[in-house]
Amino acid sequence: MKEIVCPNCGATFDAREPKCPYCEYINPLGAEAKYLRDLEDTRLNLDNVDEEAEDAYIKDIKSGAKFALKRIIVIVLLIAIFVGGGFVIHKIKEGKKGNFSDELLWEQENFPIFDEMLDDGKYQELMELLLKYGDEHNIWNWERYDEFEKIASELWGTPEEQEETGEDQEETGEDGE
């Protein structure tokens, strides 16, 4: 430890002190040294602050990435559910309708029967058959479907009229009881 003699009061003190501890006389060399030490301390503190900030930033990025990844997984799952569900529904519908060649065979078998019934005037039976097959087969592919529809609407009215008549009948039935 280097000591100096105070030019003001003659006491000796550490050369690194910025002031004489006895008379507070300014020691220029010590003051400069202290200034440099303080500067260095500040710089080290700033370094620490930078490191802490950097750590926090990296954590943010990591958690942000995790969050983004979770969101992507959720979105992919949702898409998979929608697409998968749509595919299953499509398959069920397809299965219900049967495949194309089976449907063609059914038409070749049944449309001539419909023709015969139409020609024979068996409208009630034909109507019942069409209602029975309507859910499973493309009955409107029958080339005389329109022709029969006209006859049916003349006989029993349009579907709307039929519904109204049906409701009226139900109401009358309830009133009767």
Contacts to Zn ion by CB under 5 A? 6, 8-9, 11, 20, 22-23, 25
| Choice between 30 and 142, CB closer to Zn ion | 30
CB of 18 closer than 8 Å to CB of 26: yes
| Choice between 6 and 117, CB closer to Zn ion | 6
CB of 133 closer than 8 Å to CB of 145: no
Query: In the bound complex, what is the minimum distance in angstroms from residue 38's beta carbon to Zn ion?
Result: 22
Largest CA distance in the chain: 142
Euclidean distance between CA atoms 33 and 30, whole angstroms? 5
Cα separation of the two ends of the chain: 122
Helices (H) and strands (E) in the chain, counts: 5, 2
| Choice between 25 and 133, CB closer to Zn ion | 25
Number of C-beta neighbours around residue 27 at 10 A: 22
| Choice between 9 and 61, CB closer to Zn ion | 9
| Choice between 10 and 159, CB closer to Zn ion | 10
Euclidean distance between CA atoms 66 and 73, whole angstroms? 10
Q: How far is CA 8 from CA 23, 52, 161, in A?
A: 8, 47, 123
Which residue do the tokens 């002190």 mark?
17
Query: In the bound complex, what is the minimum distance in angstroms from residue 13's beta carbon to Zn ion?
Result: 8
Query: In the bound complex, what is the minimum distance in angstroms from residue 11's beta carbon to Zn ion?
Result: 5
Query: In the bound complex, what is the minimum distance in angstroms from residue 18's beta carbon to Zn ion?
Result: 12
| Choice between 23 and 53, CB closer to Zn ion | 23
Query: In the bound complex, what is the minimum distance in angstroms from residue 62's beta carbon to Zn ion?
Result: 58
Query: In the bound complex, what is the minimum distance in angstroms from residue 41's beta carbon to Zn ion?
Result: 26
